[in-house]
Structure 1
């Protein structure tokens, strides 16, 4: 098999080559981290019917791949498919096309416990030194993340010219509820996909941890692309949408368009500020100035922008947390009707100003944020909260694991620190499904 002469499309997926017997765990972790970072993945277990293992690379190349990762494990020496089909073909693509990214994840250890960097050539039965120029990382979490960082930078560098010669817009797709598959890709610069959850309402805690470890790449990816605008499409849990927005503050890229599921555009190009023509109003507020606290005080903001009344979960939250809140505020739409997407920038600015003011008025308090709003607004509000500390919550009306209180509730999902250099997600608070 020889590689096609046409250059690969850098927006296409990355192919993962591995030995199922001892490489499945590493390949699975790598695949989910790549998806969380925005790189689509071509992997046999997700994208081929049973029995088509030997055809996987042929089908992937026909569909289009932008790179490959050779997962080198001790038993790969016994894989005819990897040694004689996949590794040679991926190497040929890498040699023939500068845009084709190739990396190695190596789980083989030396006698002293270090990574055996000679193992890939030896186990794949390739001339010694052939893979010496390929980015090779260990199979530990830090090694996986180091390789993903390289693949993201390579992808963005390869797409920069396309962005410059079109509309100078960075296109980002975001989904947390779909089951990711190679055919779910959009052709955008990045397609962020998280591990689906077994819970009927809440996101996957493992998926959030993958996002925590990769979201720090996102703002640099956008700015490295040379884009002047950002366009986001898809759908996600509101806590994830807010976190992605917070990772892309207006100080990094001025204009953001968010496309909702009906194709309407919600845009923002401003900063947090109170709007003369009020967009949101304070429906209720309160607090305990002497609230019980150890360290930084806490406040809560309920952003309730849908026209139908649904206060049960918020009421329960205040009942459970009142002694610990220095202040709380319930914000609703000033219009009381369905929101107009053309007002999105003003709405987001007004909401963010209320959030910032409540925190500032209470000694830079940590904000517990309860969102009930359209997906685009969660993103647009998030990008205007730079420097704030926020615990973002998800709504959950599933049956309780214990107790007899069947009311809907808000569950803390992530702690965000929007100015953190390593990424906005400081902690994942959502417990594992078990």
Structure 2
């Protein structure tokens, strides 16, 4: 009767140590010692320790015996006196699929001569269908050592096997999923999230969009119910993320087989000896895909360089446009943008709009957050190029925004680049940049100069202050305070106001926005193309339409700030220069 092969039963903790160490050391061999206990002729491995190899290479591992003995002593010192766990063998890795070598076999026989019980050898070679090879060596009663091939029983899978993707798992207008390791990847994930939202892409991220319930079930829902793209943030600690490696990544690779899906890899693992070059082999290694080049053969963005984040935003914006462009052209429809700067963003914002611009608002909502404006400064040029690439004859904007953001968005959609812009207000009325034949002509703009009391400096000749109010009976208190507080003064100041009905008629939008821009330009030209300091008071719809006409000016845009109560003031928010390469926002001035 043939006896069954002895078994080496591998527990989860031991497996994780070996797999993680192997991933981190590839393409060099790694290794160490095994701890556990004997069950008849079998060995149960409960723990594994990593021991540095002396001159480890791609085909050689020799453990440091002194270090091994120290680690073993420290481990056993923490165990209870009646704990049967002890030394049961050795392990090491092979970079390519292969079993124990003749050198391994000889070393194990030599080690078995010095022990009374069975000694196990585990060779871990990732990449094969059966990555573990096992051997149990034992000294017999009269001295000879025998070695038998052992059956290795790895720990059971933690997650259910993935099924095929359901219909609708990829959706052209779906959210962008961000996959990352929280311990060291959260700052990078948050930065990418905020940039993508500022660019107009809806994002799914666990800290805001993972609803109550079992984590793996909720993740599965997010990964299979309509995504357009994903960003995999690769940091050194991702080697320890079971969720990313065993649940998120397999689904993302499935999704990436669909041409309508885009998987971006944000690589923040540095190459040896460099702080600016990333290791393009690290994603496969750390996520235990090596020796395959599953991720190495995909485009990776270097997050160690300032341009890495912008590259991802640009790629995903253009992917979005590519997916939307056929419908835009075949249906001759408008390119739609929804913008909000006050409510908190969520993945459920994803809808039929082509872009959905969101920036983080300040906690009190009065002023935009400085960080939010800085993100917008980075993304607006990319968003502008994406809108232009869509080739739509009309851009239609929905939602609402702080007035400085509306002016900046308008500057990113200039009349020299985008033919027609429509802004839809909360009542559904369209304010358009193209003059309509039904303009009631009930409102007119009037410009009134303001006498300046403060002494002027040489720099004053380069600045003019303008209060543009598109509401009846404007309160000029905050503007007067602005003129008083500005230490270097202005060459001139003026109030541009509207006369007519109490409320503007949307049909007047094209005429009034063009007239307002012309008067602003005239005032700047009168002072030698001076820098314009603009305090705007009126509907955000008009702010956006006026902003697109200021393409030849350098404009300092102010936001109205009502705090503290009774002392309203205008606070400088940002600088617009649509005509320069880095525009339209060239500087953020808010200090909070």
Q: If the length of structure 1 is used for normalisation, what is the TM-score?
A: 0.92
Structure number with larger C-alpha Rg: 2
Q: Is the 8 A contact 2:465 2:533 kept in 1?
A: yes
- 2:567 equivalent in structure 1: 407
Question: 2:340, 2:475 → 1: CA distance?
Answer: 25
Which of 495, 501, 505 matches 1:330? Answer: 495
- 1:273 equivalent in structure 2: none
Matching of residue 392 in structure 1 with residue 557 in structure 2: yes
- 2:255 equivalent in structure 1: 93
List runs of 5+ in structure 2 lacking aligned partners: 1-161, 436-440
Which of 284, 297, 300 matches 1:121? Answer: 284
Is the deviation greater in 179-188 or in 319-328?
Answer: 319-328
Could you report, residue by residue, the CA deviation over 1:106-130 in whole angstroms, capped at 9, with x for unpaired residues? 1111221231111100111114211
Q: Is the 8 A contact 2:168 2:224 kept in 1?
A: no
Is the deviation greater in 46-55 or in 130-139?
Answer: 46-55
List runs of 5+ in structure 1 lacking aligned partners: 271-275, 401-405
Question: 2:214, 2:469 → 1: CA distance?
Answer: 49
Structure 2 counterparts to residues 30-429 of structure 1, below 5 A: 30-50=192-212, 52-95=214-257, 97-113=258-274, 114-127=277-290, 128-140=292-304, 141-269=306-434, 279-287=444-452, 291-294=456-459, 297-321=462-486, 324-399=489-564, 407-429=567-589
Is the deviation greater in 226-235 or in 60-69?
Answer: 60-69
Q: Is the 8 A contact 1:74 1:108 kept in 2?
A: yes
**How far apart are residue 51 of structure 1 and its match?**
5.5
Question: 1:289, 1:218 → 2: CA distance?
Answer: 41
Q: 1:296 to 1:42 in 2, by over 3 A?
A: farther
Q: If the length of structure 2 is used for normalisation, what is the TM-score?
A: 0.68
Instruction: Tell me which of the two structures has the higher relative contact order, counting C-alpha pairs closer than 8 angstroms and 6 or more residues apart.
Output: 1
Could you report, residue by residue, the CA deviation over 1:207-254 in whole angstroms, capped at 9, with x for unpaired residues? 000000111112211111010001000100000000000111011111
**How far apart are residue 265 of structure 1 and its match?**
1.0
Could you report, residue by residue, the CA deviation over 1:79-125 in whole angstroms, capped at 9, with x for unpaired residues? 11110111111011111x11100011111112212311111001111
Q: Is the 8 A contact 1:44 1:56 kept in 2?
A: no
**How far apart are residue 263 of structure 1 and its match?**
1.3
Q: Secondary structure at the match of 2:245?
A: helix
Question: 2:297, 2:582 → 1: CA distance?
Answer: 28
**How far apart are residue 340 of structure 1 and its match?**
0.5
Q: Is the 8 A contact 2:395 2:421 kept in 1?
A: yes
Question: 1:346, 1:186 → 2: CA distance?
Answer: 32
Q: Size of the alignment, in residue pairs? A: 422
**How far apart are residue 362 of structure 1 and its match?**
0.8
Q: Is the 8 A contact 2:460 2:490 kept in 1?
A: no
Q: Is the 8 A contact 1:296 1:366 kept in 2?
A: no
Could you report, residue by residue, the CA deviation over 1:114-148 in whole angstroms, capped at 9, with x for unpaired residues? 31111100111114211133221122442111111
Question: 2:487, 2:427 → 1: CA distance?
Answer: 38
